[in-house]
Amino acid sequence: MRRERRGLGKNNLDFKRILYIAGGILSISIITFISIFILNGVGGEEQQQIAKFNTSIVNEYQTNMLNDTDFDNTTEETSSQMGKTVNEVEESEASSSEDENTVIQEETEGTTKYAVNTSNMEENTVKESNASTKQEETAVEEKVEEKEEVKDPEFKRPVEGDIIREYAKENLVYSATLDEWITHNGIDLAAEKTSVVRASADGTVKSIKNDPRYGLTVVIEHTNGFQTIYSNLLTAEFVEEGEEVKQGDTIATVGNTATFEIADESHLHFEILKNNESLDPELYLK
Digit-coded pLDDT (tens) for 83-140: 444 445 355 555 555 555 554 455 555 555 554 455 666 676 667 777 777 777 766 6
The pTM for the full model equals: 0.50
**Rounded distance between C-alpha atoms, residue 249 and residue 226, angstroms:** 18
Q: Which domains does the chain have, with CATH numbers?
A: 163-283 (2.70.70.10)
Output phi, psi for 256, to 5 deg: -150, 60
**Rounded distance between C-alpha atoms, residue 207 and residue 273, angstroms:** 15
**Rounded distance between C-alpha atoms, residue 58 and residue 274, angstroms:** 141
Q: Once rounded to an integer, what is the mean pLDDT over residues 279-286?
A: 94
Give the pLDDT confidence score for residue 137 in this predicted structure: 75
| Pair 129, 155: CB distance under 8 Å | no
| Pair 243, 159: CB distance under 8 Å | no
Between residues 194 and 105, which one has the greater pLDDT?
194
Task: Provide the Cα torsion 286, 218, 166, 150; round to 10°.
Answer: -40
Residue 257 per-residue DSSP state: -
| Pair 281, 247: CB distance under 8 Å | no
How far does the chain reach from its first CA to its final CA, in angstroms?
Answer: 120
Q: To the nearest whole percent, how much of the chain has pLDDT over 70?
A: 57
Which residues, other chains included, contact 80 with Cβ-Cβ below 8 Å and sequence gap of 6+?
Answer: none
Convert the pLDDT of each residue in 11-31 to its tens digit.
Answer: 556 666 777 777 777 877 777
| Pair 252, 240: CB distance under 8 Å | no
**Rounded distance between C-alpha atoms, residue 175 and residue 277, angstroms:** 22
Residue 155 per-residue DSSP state: B
Q: Once rounded to an integer, what is the mean pLDDT over residues 143-168?
A: 85
Give the pLDDT confidence score for residue 135 in this predicted structure: 76
